[in-house]
């Protein structure tokens, strides 16, 4: 049996606009997605902001009712059997919210243990073990408001493990963490999979998905545009080369001008402090570099380093979401 | 059942810990009732010191009402802002157990208003403060607490499903001080407003507390007020609020809500 089965899942939000002439606007957050997650698998859901990742997680964790389609968690329907699902799952939504900041870590964990109907004796035994798992032992009596972002995120992990759930939903758990904190948290996630828990992870970070996930689904505009292993996704771009040009202050029309080159597949721009990295995917490899340089240089943009390299999972992702990353 | 009772207890403990150091607690429960008590003392008691207990009870009730109204309005929304509502709603516990725990915490802390008002009037202004009928007074206080808890249990879900309704709390605060007869009898108000007071449970609570503290309550009065406080007044509240809740809940549930709070509350 699959741990998660999703079939043609939809979610449409309606919002009212205007004060006097009120109009209703519909936004389709999730538009007919289908996928399965096997028991004990670490499954990744990747997508740009607003792609529908969090809405999907909220529907799977019984916090939001789908407007169409169906989803089951361990055989239980997310709408009809929400009460059966809730004790069996744990979840973390990215960011620092979700804890009582004026209380200590221990008070937070005790409260959530009661909410999840964990036997008090069991909770007493489990608490030190969980604090140790996330590296918080010795700090359990400190107020949460004094914790760093990474420490709070690790406390979130211990909170969602209190009732020993079979399945975990982690919505961008490393968002905003420093590299060391993020690496520690990824190790915690690996340990969970080693304990045969099923993990459903959403993330922005390709290397994280590459390093952790057995399979990855890419979601864009509410639809799944690819579902494969990280290696399989990389094959989507194995015929392409990536030309990366560092520039200082590029305008949108220059990016559009690069997109008009017939041999160019996709163009994306990443901000890096003062400068930007323009990433061009093309089958021509280094042969297209002169044309790119001509178009950029001709517009008076200051240019930095130029590199031509093999594609990564991130490049596959950028191609799949059409340069929106 | 036992697990849910444990949730009520833990929520109560946690909420008392959180509220006790909050600014709302300091202003709404302590400073505001004290200011009202001081004003009322200068206005009313200076001429008739025997009315001291009336002011103590009345200003205590203002603190109790303010605290219950605002905590009832915001206690679920506060969880939403803190991001803890998801964790509560998606847990196997009943949300009602959480709201009951929070309400008990609000009531316990807001009863401090009455104690502080009593302390102010007796220690600083040195007014004679004797509760003439202490046993009926304490029993009436208990009945009032239950009536107020039932009110908070109804407004919490109503306010949670639509944030814009929380503005009503501001509009309901002062009119209740007046229509409820907390600080002066409603007979001083225009006659047409009296039926409105009769519909409000806090009016009956204030009436019986004032009467028992000043020793003018007959057993018939007390029983009538208890019944009105705990039953018809509350029933009117329940009827009105239930109607709003039933109307309000399916819409956000189906159309707006990020969180399916509606389904949990029904």
Q: Does B87 touch chain A (CB under 8 A)?
A: yes
Note the pLDDT of residue A29: 93
Interface test with A, best of B11, B92, B96, B252 (most A CBs within 10 A): B92
Note the pLDDT of residue B258: 39
Q: Indicate the CATH number of A237-320 among 3.30.70.260, 2.40.50.1070, 3.40.50.300, 3.40.120.10.
A: 3.30.70.260
Domain positions in chain A are: 4-228, 237-320
Note the pLDDT of residue B64: 83
Nearest to B71 by CA among B114, B116, B20: B20
Residues A129 and A91: their CA atoms lie apart, in Å, by 19
Residues of chain B with Cβ-Cβ distance to A107 below 8 Å are 14, 17
The first and second tokens of residue A28, run together, are 């389709």
Contact at 8 Å (CB) between A184 and A20?
A: no
Quote the Cα angle for B60-B64-B70, to 5°: 145
Q: Would you say the C-alpha torsion A144, A191, A227, A88 has a positive or negative sign?
A: negative
Contact at 8 Å (CB) between A151 and A134?
A: no
CA distance A142 to chain B (A): 14
Q: Does B89 touch chain A (CB under 8 A)?
A: yes
- Partner-chain contact A117 B84, CB within 8 Å: no
Contact at 8 Å (CB) between A170 and A186?
A: no
| H/E element, A155 | helix A149-161
CA distance A55 to chain B (A): 9
CA distance A27 to chain B (A): 11
CB-CB: which of B18, B89, B92 is closest to A63? B89
CA distance A92 to chain B (A): 9
Q: Does B95 touch chain A (CB under 8 A)?
A: no
Contacts of A32 (CB under 8 A, 6+ apart): A8, A9, A10, A68, A69, A222, A223
pLDDT digits (tens, 9 = 90+) for A290-299: 888 888 876 6
The first and second tokens of residue A162, run together, are 């209190």
Q: How many residues does chain A have?
A: 325
Residues A68 and B130: their CA atoms lie apart, in Å, by 66
Residues of chain A with Cβ-Cβ distance to B162 below 8 Å are none
Distance (Å) of CA A127 to CA A142, B84, B86, B237: 15, 20, 22, 44
Note the pLDDT of residue A85: 93
Place of tokens 């221990």: A106
Residues B177 and B65: their CA atoms lie apart, in Å, by 8
CB-CB: which of B90, B93, B253 is closest to A62? B90
Q: Provide the CATH topology of domain A4-228.
A: Rossmann fold (3.40.50)
pLDDT digits (tens, 9 = 90+) for A266-310: 888 888 777 888 888 888 888 888 888 888 876 677 888 889 888
Contact at 8 Å (CB) between A290 and A282?
A: no
Report CA dihedral (B6, B11, B12, B13) to the nearest 10 degrees: 90
pLDDT digits (tens, 9 = 90+) for A163-194: 999 999 999 888 777 788 788 888 888 888 88
Nearest to B169 by CA among B68, B36, B77, B82: B68
Distance (Å) of CA B189 to CA A18, B172, B186, B199: 41, 18, 5, 15
Distance (Å) of CA B57 to CA A179, B49, B187: 59, 14, 18
Note the pLDDT of residue B240: 54
Q: Does A249 touch chain B (CB under 8 A)?
A: no
Taking residue B3's Cβ as centre, other Cβ atoms within 10 Å add up to: 16
The model carries a pTM of 0.76
Q: Does B263 touch chain A (CB under 8 A)?
A: yes
Q: Does B50 touch chain A (CB under 8 A)?
A: no
Which of residues A69 and A276 earns the better pLDDT score? Answer: A69
Residues B114 and B56: their CA atoms lie apart, in Å, by 7
Cβ-Cβ contacts under 8 Å between A and B: the total is: 86
- pLDDT tens for chain B, 266 residues long, are 788 889 999 999 988 888 877 777 777 777 887 788 788 777 776 667 667 788 888 888 888 888 888 877 777 778 888 888 888 888 888 888 888 888 888 888 878 877 877 787 778 777 777 788 888 888 888 888 877 777 777 777 677 666 666 677 778 888 888 998 888 888 888 989 998 888 887 888 888 888 888 777 777 777 776 666 555 445 555 555 555 445 444 333 333 333 444 433 33
Mapping DSSP to helix (H, G, I), strand (E, B) and coil, where does residue B68 land? helix
In this structure, the strands spanning A264-272 and A223-228 are unpaired
Residues B16 and B108: their CA atoms lie apart, in Å, by 8
- Residue A44 DSSP label: E
Dihedrals φ, ψ of B140, to 5°? -65, -35
Helical segments of chain B, H only: 2-20, 23-24, 32-40, 52-82, 85-89, 95-119, 134-161, 168-179, 194-198, 201-214, 219-230, 232-248, 250-251, 261-265
Note the pLDDT of residue B262: 40
- Partner-chain contact A97 B259, CB within 8 Å: no
CA distance B89 to chain A (A): 7
CA A200 to chain CA mean position, Å: 10
ipTM: 0.75
- At A11, is the pLDDT very low, low, confident or very high (cuts 50, 70, 90)? very high
Nearest to B83 by CA among A182, A144, A16, A168: A144
Q: At what angle do helices B201-214 and B232-248 cross, to 10 degrees?
A: 150
CA distance B8 to chain A (A): 9
Percentage of residues in chain A having pLDDT higher than 90: 33
Instruction: Summarize the confidence of residues A124-133 as an average pLDDT.
Output: 88
Q: Does A272 touch chain B (CB under 8 A)?
A: no
Residues of chain A with Cβ-Cβ distance to B92 below 8 Å are 83, 86-87, 115-117
Note the pLDDT of residue B160: 66
Contacts of B226 (CB under 8 A, 6+ apart): B139, B140, B143, B204, B208
Contacts of A132 (CB under 8 A, 6+ apart): none
Residues A139 and A159: their CA atoms lie apart, in Å, by 15
Cβ burial of A204 (10 Å; 0-12, 13-18, 19+) is: middle
Nearest to B212 by CA among B146, B141, B148, B108: B141
- Partner-chain contact B10 A86, CB within 8 Å: no
Which of A71-75, A127-131, B72-76 holds the top average pLDDT? Answer: A71-75
Contacts of A175 (CB under 8 A, 6+ apart): A94, A95, A204
């Amino acid at each position: 049996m699959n741990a998660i089965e999703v079939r043609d899942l939809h979610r449409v939000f309606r919002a009212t606009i205007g004060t006097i002439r009120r109009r209703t606007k519909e936004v389709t957050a999730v538009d007919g997605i289908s996928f399965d997650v096997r028991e004990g698998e670490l499954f990744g859901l990747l997508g740009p902001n607003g792609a529908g990742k969090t809405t999907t997680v909220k529907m799977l964790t019984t916090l939001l009712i789908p407007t169409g389609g169906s989803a089951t968690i361990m055989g239980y329907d997310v709408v009809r059997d929400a009460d059966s699902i809730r004790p069996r799952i744990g979840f973390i939504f990215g960011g620092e919210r979700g804890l009582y900041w004026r209380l200590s870590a221990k008070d937070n964990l005790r409260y959530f243990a009661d909410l999840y109907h964990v036997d008090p004796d069991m909770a007493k035994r489990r608490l030190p073990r969980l604090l140790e798992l996330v590296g918080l032992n010795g700090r359990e009596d400190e107020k949460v408001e004094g914790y760093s972002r990474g420490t709070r995120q690790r406390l979130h992990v211990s909170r969602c493990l209190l009732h020993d759930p079979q399945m975990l939903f982690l919505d961008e758990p490393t968002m905003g963490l420093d590299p060391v904190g993020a690496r520690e948290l990824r190790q915690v996630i690996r340990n969970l999979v080693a304990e045969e828990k099923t993990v459903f992870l959403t993330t922005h970070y390709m290397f994280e998905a590459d390093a952790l996930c057995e399979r990855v689904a890419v979601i864009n505009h509410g639809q799944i545009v690819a579902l494969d292993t990280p290696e399989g996704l990389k094959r989507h771009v194995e015929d392409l080369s990536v030309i990366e040009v560092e520039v200082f202050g590029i305008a949108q029309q220059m990016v559009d001008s690069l997109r008009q080159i017939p041999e160019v597949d996709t163009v994306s721009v990443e901000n890096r402090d003062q400068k930007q990295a323009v990433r061009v995917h093309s089958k021509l490899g280094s042969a297209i570099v002169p044309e790119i340089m001509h178009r950029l240089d001709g517009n008076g943009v200051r240019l930095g380093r130029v590199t031509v390299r093999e594609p990564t999972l991130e490049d596959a992702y950028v191609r799949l979401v059409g340069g929106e990353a | 059942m036992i697990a849910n009772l444990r949730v009520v207890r833990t929520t109560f403990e946690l909420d008392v810990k959180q509220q006790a150091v909050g600014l709302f607690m300091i202003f709404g429960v302590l400073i505001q009732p004290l200011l009202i008590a001081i004003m009322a003392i200068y206005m009313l008691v200076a001429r008739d010191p025997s009315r001291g207990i009336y002011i103590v009870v009345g200003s205590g009730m203002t603190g109790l009402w303010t605290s219950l109204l605002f905590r009832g309005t915001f206690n679920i929304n506060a969880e939403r802002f803190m991001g803890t509502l998801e964790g509560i709603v998606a847990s196997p516990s009943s949300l009602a157990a959480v709201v009951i725990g929070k309400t008990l915490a609000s009531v316990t802390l807001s009863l401090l208003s009455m104690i502080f008002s009593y302390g102010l009037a007796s220690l600083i202004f040195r007014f004679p403060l004797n509760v003439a009928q202490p046993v009926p007074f304490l029993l009436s206080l208990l009945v009032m607490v239950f009536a107020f808890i039932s009110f908070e249990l109804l407004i919490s879900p109503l306010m949670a499903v639509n944030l814009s309704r929380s503005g009503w709390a501001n509009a309901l605060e002062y009119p209740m001080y007046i229509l409820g007869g907390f600080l002066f009898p409603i007979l001083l108000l225009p006659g047409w407003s009296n039926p409105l007071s009769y519909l409000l449970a806090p009016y009956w609570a204030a009436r019986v507390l004032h009467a028992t503290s000043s020793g003018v309550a007959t057993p018939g009065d007390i029983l009538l007020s208890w019944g009105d406080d705990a039953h018809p007044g509350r029933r009117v509240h329940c009827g009105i609020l239930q109607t709003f809740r039933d109307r309000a809940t399916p819409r956000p549930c189906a159309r707006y809500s990020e969180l399916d709070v509606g389904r949990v509350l029904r």
